C-alpha cells in the first residue's frame, strides 16, 4: 500500500512502499487525533512465510518462545479533531481499519476492533461505527500516556533530550534507572503523572492552563487562522512590549536582594494596564510571544513544584503543545532550572505528541491478540544496534518531522 501524497495538516505522508498494515491505534484528544500503525515491508511479506520456518537467524528468543522478526515501519499521523472527517477518510482510503478485522479472522464489519484512547474514543464511538463499521476498544488515557512514555524511553534510541540556550543534548536513559519520574503531558489541558514503573503511576496534578489555552486565547487575540501560524509569529515577537518586567517597576534596576534581574517578568501582560493602548495597537507577534512565555513558564513552574513534592529529579515533557518549538522548550527548561536552582532537569521527547497513541498501540499485546503481535521493537541498523533502540528515519539533528515513519523490526508470534 502506498500512502504517498496524502496531505495531513499540510504535511504529506512520506512516500514509501508498504506491506500489510496492522495495529492501527488512535488517540482522540480535545484538539488533535493521533494515529499510529505498523506496516510490514512489502518485500519481507512475500518471503515471510518461508523464512518463518526456514531461517533461524530471523527468529528471536524471548523467554520460552521464539518469535520471527518482522521488518516494517511505524507510522505517525495527526488530524485536527474538529476535522474528524478528514481522519475517517484517511483511514478509509488507506484501509487502515481493516487490520482490526483481519486480526480477528473475520471481515464482517461488526467484528472490526481498533484500539483507541482519549475522550474522543467515547465521544466519537458511534461515528466510527457508522462511517467505518469499526468498534473502538477503549483504553484508559492515563494508562496509555504512561505506557507510551515508558515504551519510548526504553525502546527508542535518542528519544529524550534537554534543551537550554538553543542547545539540544540527547540523554541516554538507563533502563534500570528510569523510575521514578514525573511525566508532564501538555495537550489541550495538562496532566502531571508520577511514574513508578510499568503500569504503576499516579496523576498527582495538572492545570487547565495548557495548549488549548495558548491556541484558544492566541486565536482570539491575534486572529491567527491556525496553530502553526501562531507559533511562527512568536519567533518574531518581543514579549517585553507587553509584559511588565522587574525593571519597569524598579526604574530599570535589578531587585538583587531576592535574585531578580531587571528583565525578569514580574507580570505577564502587565504593561497593558498602563500603556493606554487598545488590542489593535499591539503587534500579534508580541502577543503570541508573551502568551507562549506565560503558559510555558507557568507549566514549568508547576511541574517543578510537583517534582519537589515527590523528590523527583527528572521531568519528561510530552504533548503536542511543545511541537519541538525552541522558545517553548527553552522557557520550560529555564523555569525548571530557576526554581530548582539547577537541581531538577526538564527533558523533552521526540515523539512528544504520540504518547497516548503509542500506549494504545502497545496495549494490543496486553490484551493478547496473537496474530502479528508486536512483542518488542528492535533496531535493525548496525549503527544503532548497540544502543537498544530502533532506527529513526529523517533528519539527523533529532527533529521529528510531521508524520514521519520509523523503520523497525518487531518480534511477532
Ligand atoms: P489533546 O489530546 O488534548 O488533543 P495534544 O497532545 O494533541 O492534546 O495537544 C493539543 C495541543 O497541541 C493544542 O491545544 C495546541 O496547543 C497544540 N497543537 C499543536 N499543533 C496543533 C494543530 N495543528 N492544531 C491544533 N493544535 C495544535
SS3 for 105-149 is: CCCCHHHEEEEEECCHHHHCHHHHHHHHCEEEEECCHHHHHHHHH
Average pLDDT for 204-222: 98
Domain ranges in the chain are 6-140+354-411, 160-238+283-349, 243-281
Neighbour-count burial for 208-218, b at 16+ CB within 10 Å, e otherwise: ebbbbbbbebb
C-alpha cell at 198: 510499568
80 lines ligand 1 (CB under 6 A): yes
324 lines ligand 1 (CB under 6 A): no
How many angstroms separate the alpha carbon of residue 31 from the centre of ligand 1? 5
Cα–Cα distance between 327 and 75 in angstroms, integer? 27
Q: Which residues pair with 265 in a beta bridge?
A: 245
How would you classify the pairing of strands 244-245 and 265-267?
antiparallel
| pLDDT confidence band for 41 (50 / 70 / 90) | confident
215 lines ligand 1 (CB under 6 A): yes
Question: Given this model, what pLDDT does residue 394 score?
Answer: 32
- Ligand 1 pocket test, candidate residues 26, 120, 211, 298, most atoms within 8 A of CB: 211
From the CA of 9, give the closest atom in ligand 1: 23
Give the dihedral sign, CA 199/204/208/214: negative
How many angstroms separate the alpha carbon of residue 33 from the centre of ligand 1? 9
Cα–Cα distance between 55 and 58 in angstroms, integer? 6
Q: What is the pLDDT of residues 388-399, one digit of tens each?
A: 333 333 333 344
227 lines ligand 1 (CB under 6 A): yes
| pLDDT confidence band for 39 (50 / 70 / 90) | confident
Average pLDDT, the chain: 82
Query: Does residue 377 sit in helix, strand or coil?
Result: strand
Residue nearest to atom 24 of ligand 1 (CA): 227
| pLDDT confidence band for 246 (50 / 70 / 90) | very high
**Which of 112 and 43 is assigned the larger pLDDT?**
112
**Is CATH 3.40.50.2300 the right assignment for the domain spanning 6-140+354-411?**
no
Cα–Cα distance between 138 and 117 in angstroms, integer? 6
Q: What is the pLDDT of residues 307-332, one digit of tens each?
A: 999 999 999 999 999 999 999 999 99
Q: What is the pLDDT of residues 158-201, one digit of tens each?
A: 899 999 999 999 999 988 899 999 999 999 999 999 999 999 99
Residue nearest to atom 13 of ligand 1 (CA): 211
Which CATH number is associated with domain 160-238+283-349? 3.30.420.40
Average pLDDT for 276-283: 95
Determine what percent of the chain is predicted with pLDDT higher than 70. Answer: 75
217 lines ligand 1 (CB under 6 A): no
Question: Is 50 exceeded by the pLDDT of residue 226?
Answer: yes
| pLDDT confidence band for 407 (50 / 70 / 90) | low
What lies within 8 Å, CB to CB, of 51 at 6+ separation is 58, 68
- Find the helix or strand (DSSP H, E) in which 178 lies: none
How many angstroms separate the alpha carbon of residue 209 from the centre of ligand 1? 13
| pLDDT confidence band for 99 (50 / 70 / 90) | confident
Question: Is 70 exceeded by the pLDDT of residue 67?
Answer: no
Do 6-140+354-411 and 160-238+283-349 agree at the fold level?
yes
Measured CA distances, 272 to 41, 252, 293 (Å): 57, 18, 16
**Which of 31 and 7 is assigned the larger pLDDT?**
31
How many angstroms separate the alpha carbon of residue 90 from the centre of ligand 1? 19
151 lines ligand 1 (CB under 6 A): no
Cα-Cα-Cα-Cα dihedral of 252, 299, 354, 349, to 10°?
60
Q: Where are the alpha helices (DSSP H) in 311-404?
A: 326-340, 355-366
Angle between helices 211-222 and 284-310 (to 10 degrees): 160
Cα-Cα-Cα-Cα dihedral of 110, 114, 118, 123, to 10°?
-20
Cα–Cα distance between 144 and 148 in angstroms, integer? 6
Question: Given this model, what pLDDT does residue 404 score?
Answer: 58
- Ligand 1 pocket test, candidate residues 321, 329, 332, most atoms within 8 A of CB: 321
Question: Given this model, what pLDDT does residue 408 score?
Answer: 65
Residue nearest to atom 1 of ligand 1 (CA): 29
How many angstroms separate the alpha carbon of residue 81 from the centre of ligand 1? 9
Question: Given this model, what pLDDT does residue 110 score?
Answer: 54
Q: Is 278 exposed, middle or buried (0-12, 13-18, 19+ CB in 10 A)?
A: exposed
Cα–Cα distance between 76 and 125 in angstroms, integer? 21
For 214, how many CA atoms within 13 A lie in the half-sphere containing its CB?
A: 34
Average pLDDT for 56-85: 73
CA-wise closest residue to 75 among 25, 148, 149, 145? 25
Amino acid at each position: 500500500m502506498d500512502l504517498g501524497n496524502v496531505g495531513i495538516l499540510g504535511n504529506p505522508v512520506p512516500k514509501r512502499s508498504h506491506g500489510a498494515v496492522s495495529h492501527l491505534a488512535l488517540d482522540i484528544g480535545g484538539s488533535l487525533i493521533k494515529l499510529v500503525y505498523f506496516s510490514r515491508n512489502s518485500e519481507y511479506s512475500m518471503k515471510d512465510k518461508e523464512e518463518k520456518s526456514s531461517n533461524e537467524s530471523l527468529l528471536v528468543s524471548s523467554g520460552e518462545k521464539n518469535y520471527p522478526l518482522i521488518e516494517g515501519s511505524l507510522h505517525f499521523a495527526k488530524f485536527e479533531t474538529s476535522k474528524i472527517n478528514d481522519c475517517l477518510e484517511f483511514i478509509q482510503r488507506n484501509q487502515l481499519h481493516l487490520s482490526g478485522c483481519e486480526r480477528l479472522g473475520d471481515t464482517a464489519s461488526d467484528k472490526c476492533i481498533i484500539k483507541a484512547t482519549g475522550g474522543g474514543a467515547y465521544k466519537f464511538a458511534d461515528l466510527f461505527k457508522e462511517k467505518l463499521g469499526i468498534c473502538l476498544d477503549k483504553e484508559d488515557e492515563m494508562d496509555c500516556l504512561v505506557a507510551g512514555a515508558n515504551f519510548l524511553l526504553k525502546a527508542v534510541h535518542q528519544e529524550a533530550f534537554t534543551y537550554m540556550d538553543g542547545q539540544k543534548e540527547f540523554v541516554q536513559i538507563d533502563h534500570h534507572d528510569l523510575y521514578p519520574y514525573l511525566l508532564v503531558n501538555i495537550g489541550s489541558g495538562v496532566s502531571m503523572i508520577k511514574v513508578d514503573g510499568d503500569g504503576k503511576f499516579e496523576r498527582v496534578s495538572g492545570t487547565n492552563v495548557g495548549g488549548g489555552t495558548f491556541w484558544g486565547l492566541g486565536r482570539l487575540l491575534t486572529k491567527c487562522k491556525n496553530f502553526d501560524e501562531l507559533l511562527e509569529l512568536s519567533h518574531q515577537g518581543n514579549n517585553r512590549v507587553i509584559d511588565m518586567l522587574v525593571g519597569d517597576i524598579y526604574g530599570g534596576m535589578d531587585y538583587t536582594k531576592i535574585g531578580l534581574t531587571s528583565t525578569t517578568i514580574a507580570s505577564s501582560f502587565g504593561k497593558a494596564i498602563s500603556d493606554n493602548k487598545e488590542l489593535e495597537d499591539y503587534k500579534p507577534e508580541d502577543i503570541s510571544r508573551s502568551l507562549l512565555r506565560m503558559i510555558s513558564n507557568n507549566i514549568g513552574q508547576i511541574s517543578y513544584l510537583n517534582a519537589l513534592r515527590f523528590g523527583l529529579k527528572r521531568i519528561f515533557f510530552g504533548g503536542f503543545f511543545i511541537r519541538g518549538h525552541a522558545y517553548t522548550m527553552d522557557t520550560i527548561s529555564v523555569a525548571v532550572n530557576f526554581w530548582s536552582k539547577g537541581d531538577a532537569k526538564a527533558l523533552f521527547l521526540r515523539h512528544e505528541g504520540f504518547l497516548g497513541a503509542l500506549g494504545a498501540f502497545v496495549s494490543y499485546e496486553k490484551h493478547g491478540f496473537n496474530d502479528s503481535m508486536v512483542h518488542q521493537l528492535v533496531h535493525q541498523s548496525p549503527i544503532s544496534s548497540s544502543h537498544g533502540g530502533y532506527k529513526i528515519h529523517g533528519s539527523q539533528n533529532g527533529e521529528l518531522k510531521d508524520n514521519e515513519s520509523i523503520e523497525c523490526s518487531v518480534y511477532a508470534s
